[in-house]
Amino acid sequence: MEWLVTLLLGFGVMLFGGGFLARHIQAIGRLKQDPELRVRDAAYLVGQQRRRIVTSVMIMVVGALIPLSYDAIVRQRNPGLASAVLLTILVLILVIMLLAVADALAGRYLRADLQLRKAEAALRRTLLENDLQYHANWKQQQEQKLQASGQEASSNRKPGQTSEEN
């Protein structure tokens, strides 16, 4: 019964890692085909997915080692093999956790870059809106000057006199 439980647990962990592995491979395909991403961002995101693939493979290896550890401890009663397998599992779990923390910290880079680009876009928009407002005001002033000069010219004319006779 215990052997079956360790097999199911190991298989479940391997399925978990395999599911994420497939998901990360699909994400790489989508990222490579996305025309809206800048080259630098696409390279960063593909690298991130590759690091996540390594983590998923490590999770699958841990899943494979779980039944092996049970076999080494209970069935073979080999303390050397059992220690090596358990130590390998612990080291892999530590590396997986460190990779997860590194991935979370690396995500801050992308978010910071995105916030910077949003701020630049907002600044550009504000500058363009200010330019548009300036030109609209200038045009309105020019039209008012034209109307004022047109009214001035018509008020200086004598009745019945055309603008050519003036």
| pLDDT for res 81 | 85
Q: Note whether residue 8 is domain-resident.
A: yes
Spatial distance between the Cα atoms of 90 and 74, rounded to a whole number of angstroms: 19
Q: Are 39 and 93 in contact (CB under 8 A)?
A: no
> What's the full length of the chain, in residues?
166
| pLDDT for res 95 | 95
Contacts of 13 (CB under 8 A, 6+ apart): 59, 60, 62, 63, 66
Can you give the residue range of the structural domain that contains 111?
2-119
Token pair for residue 26?
């699909």
For residue range 86-122, list pLDDT tens digits in order. 999 999 999 999 999 988 888 777 777 777 777 888 8
Q: Note whether residue 60 is domain-resident.
A: yes
Q: Note whether residue 59 is domain-resident.
A: yes
Enclosing H/E stretch for 11 = helix 2-33
Q: Note whether residue 101 is domain-resident.
A: yes
For residue range 121-164, list pLDDT tens digits in order. 888 888 898 888 989 899 888 888 888 887 766 666 655 555 55
Q: Note whether residue 133 is domain-resident.
A: no
For residue range 1-19, list pLDDT tens digits in order. 788 888 899 999 999 999 9
Q: Are 82 and 73 in contact (CB under 8 A)?
A: yes
Q: Note whether residue 44 is domain-resident.
A: yes
Spatial distance between the Cα atoms of 102 and 59, rounded to a whole number of angstroms: 16
- Against a cut of 0.75, is the pTM above it? no
pLDDT tops 80 at residue 55: yes
> Model confidence at 47, in pLDDT bands (50, 70, 90)?
confident
Spatial distance between the Cα atoms of 12 and 108, rounded to a whole number of angstroms: 31
Spatial distance between the Cα atoms of 113 and 119, rounded to a whole number of angstroms: 10
Number of domain units in the chain: 1
Q: Are 103 and 48 in contact (CB under 8 A)?
A: yes
Q: Note whether residue 108 is domain-resident.
A: yes
Q: Note whether residue 109 is domain-resident.
A: yes
